Amino acid sequence: MTKTALYLLPMRAFVFLLAGLLVPSFVGDAQNSTCVSVEENGDEVTLRAESWDPVSAIGRTLAGRYAINVSVEAPRWAFPGDTEDVAIADPAFSKQHNDIHYYLMKRHTIEVRFSTSENEHPDDVPGLLRQVADAANREMPYGYRLDVSGDEYALVPTTTRNTNGDLEDVLPLLDRNVTIPLGTRSIAQHANLMADNLSRQTGFHIGCCQGLVAGVPWGTATIEFAADNKPAREVLKSLMLAEQQANSQASSRHPYYDHWVVSCDGAGAPCCAIEVEGRFSFRCP
């Protein structure tokens, strides 16, 4: 028996500064919202994503549907030939919003197939995620690597196109080393200092970390923390672990955050957003 479902994955919207004008956040919704097709045929599953960032869409589906701890970091992009006007990409959306024009990444399609075991979990998670990276590297003008640490995974972009359209190696955002002076602050404040450090290094506006589930914000606990020239990814992991430990002792129940998503925009004022998420954050019926 074959079953097909569409998983709607609403990503948080950006607010972009373009040509000196504040573009409303619904533009981010047009760019980032996507549906992932999930087709089940016995113990065989096919995922098909068609969007500007299908890697993130598939990653969120795997986290939401199968509780796989996979983080996805989107590439920064700058080549005009890789973009299209939202009025062309989604005419209905543009018409509903006063015929708005805004340049988005062109859509790409990625499809992966895998088998599941009796508990309906993918049989080979590392192999599945390598398949996602390989498909992205074939179908998109970017290159991804897969980081594996136990049962934690991250799909990280390592090549992108420059403004001339040439592929070039890039230092992934969270590979960069950051320093946070020792201090007692909320976890969210420590994360903001990390983001500020990344902003100074890249010239991009970097935001972190706007996790909010069931009205509960991420990073409210106060801890003493410091980082001395450590990769931002490791700093983020440490802060997420500290948040989990603090919440385990709290009287009220807090959402469990175990992975992150990085989204970037290259148009207007370049910016990236680092979002912390939990398994089943985007679980759909």
Whole-angstrom Cα distance, residue 225 to residue 222?
Answer: 9
Burial of 164 (0-12, 13-18, 19+ CB in 10 A): exposed
Residue 68 within a domain: yes
Let me know if residue 285 belongs to a domain: no
In a domain, 117, yes or no: yes
> What type of residue is 79?
F
Range of the domain at 138: 2-277
Q: Are 168 and 222 in contact (CB under 8 A)?
A: no
Residue 237: pLDDT over 70: yes
Q: Whose CA is closest to 191, among 156, 244, 255, 238?
A: 238
Judge whether 267 lies within some domain.
yes
Evaluate if residue 18 carries a pLDDT over 80.
no
Q: Give the model confidence (pLDDT) of 27-41 as tens digits.
A: 444 444 456 888 989
- Contacts of residue 207, Cβ cutoff 8 Å, sequence gap at least 6: 195, 271, 272, 273, 274
Does 284 reside within a domain?
no
Do the domain assignments include residue 282? no
Q: What's the mean per-residue pLDDT of the chain? A: 81
Q: Are 110 and 95 in contact (CB under 8 A)?
A: no
Question: Structurally, how many domains does the chain consist of?
Answer: 1
Let me know if residue 25 belongs to a domain.
yes
Residue 146 has pLDDT above 70, yes or no: yes
Backbone angles phi, psi at 30, to 5 degrees: -65, -40
pLDDT at position 53 = 85
CB 181 within 8 A of CB 100: no
Q: How confident is the model at residue 70 (pLDDT cuts 50, 70, 90)?
A: very high
pLDDT tens readout for residues 88-139: 877 887 888 888 887 777 888 999 999 998 788 999 999 999 999 999 999 9
Q: Within a domain: residue 166?
A: yes
Query: Is 60 exceeded by the pLDDT of residue 230?
Result: yes
